[in-house]
Structure 1
Amino acid sequence: MMASPSFHSGTLMSLIHRVEQTDAGTGALICQASGDQLATVLLEEGRICWAVASGMRRRLTDLLLEGNDRLDRKSLESIYRDCRGRNVPLGEELVRRGVVEAGGLRNALAEHTSEALVRVGHRDDVTFDWVAHRTTSYSPSYTFDTLDIALRVARKVYPDAVRNAEAVLARTQIPAVAFLQSKCGDAFPVAAVQLDEVGGDDLTNRGRLFRELQEMLRQFGQGSSIELAVWRSASDRQLALTTEGDLLVAHFLVRPTQLGLLVKARMKT
């Protein structure tokens, strides 16, 4: 279940914490290592727009062109120049012109961002500088919360753990997020289910849910083996924490019967 030994989940969790510290800010988070600029993460009101890292194999334009018979590179470059001249986001203009589907743009942005952050995670000496921007320009429809991107990264670096976590979460059918514990004590999210039942389909609420889970992990401690612990968050939400091997699973108890279901499931394992 281990990723490449060169991947440091703690680096990505530090980046996530730094994003949250911007207090829903708009700007650029500059990632540096050994004095060199490693990556840039653009934020819009605290949500991730996209990221780019040095040495990336694929550019965002490459992803937008893949499997798209309505757009060629020459046309894309022309639209790009027009967007630069008018200071409008390229992706949203491509959707407006009907040459890229909205879902295709969102997927390309998320894919490019997760690839960039995987590269950031290969370093354990990353520092972050925040450069605030005065104006907003991206539609919320094409921005991402930190949990969205973290789960994308997990599929790239922890594929076995993701499959195992999805199987574990499927057994109870309770809204939950599973975290992979590293030997260093970090806990990185690898799978999530049914968060729409606890408001996770709302752009603002989903980020809040992730912050509540991180607070829960800090309260109970990471790297420990917990049979079953129940906790009530600051927003009066009831959660339960369990362990499954090297997985920490945080369950949102949205109905009275779910704690009993969780206990029964634990007795069967």
Structure 2
Amino acid sequence: MAVLTRKNNPEARMSLGEHFKEFRNRTLIAVIAICIAAVFAWLKYDVKQPDGTHVGIWPWLQHPILEVAARHPGQEIAPNFTSMTDAFGVKLKVSLWAGLIISSPVWLWEIWAFLAPGLTGKEKKIGVGFIATAVPLFLAGCWVATLVMQNAVGFLLGVTPSGATNLFSAQEYLTFVTKFILAFGFAFLLPVFLVALNMAHVFPGRIMLKGWRIAVMVIGVFAAMMSPTPDAWSMLALMAPMVVLYFAACGIALLMDKRRDANRPEWLDVPDDERSSL
């Protein structure tokens, strides 16, 4: 794999072709990891236990529906497979979705490794430590989403009038669940990408902090668009941690800028006309 190191390339410069080759290789590794994890998720999609109960990814996704149905006896509330290929399509999509989550350590590392050649040795050490928090943050976002999702499903299905039947498309429910959980997972990665941009000298901490009003507004719009339910609770549940993580990223970026300025050679602060006479 064409990774340029500081030893044989002190400035870590790569040609455009090398950048494309590096991007292709990193993407290929990430895709292979997702596919392998998806095969594992396929096998764990719906497993029948010796006692007749079913465990796996689909029973877990269906659990909020069963809870709502239990609270409304006499009503039929269940996902519906509307065509012959629907069950296969749902299983395939669930497997790929679960594979994306399971393989998150691999593709998050590949994203970092693609950016790493342009950073100094000290920044790489800091970045490796920080990117190690990306996986817990992503999984924490997915976990928070599962808690909010149960309330969202309960709210939407709980308004079904008595005596009515609520048979909804399994594809529609799958889209709702996967979008909901992945939105929270990627939202919790916000500080990782902000600090990565700061380490790449693209996004100074003072600019991040100065534009906090715009950032909060953008986060609010993102939360409103990504939340698949119309209630304000789901939007606030996604928006609040994103705002907290944004300010945490601002603090980390400011500390890194301060340390970087402290290690900056004094001669770089001398004007060009005076520097030429030194």
- Name the TM-score, length of structure 2 as normaliser: 0.24
Structure 1 or 2: more strand by fraction? 1
Q: Which has the larger radius of gyration?
A: 2
TM norm structure 1? 0.25
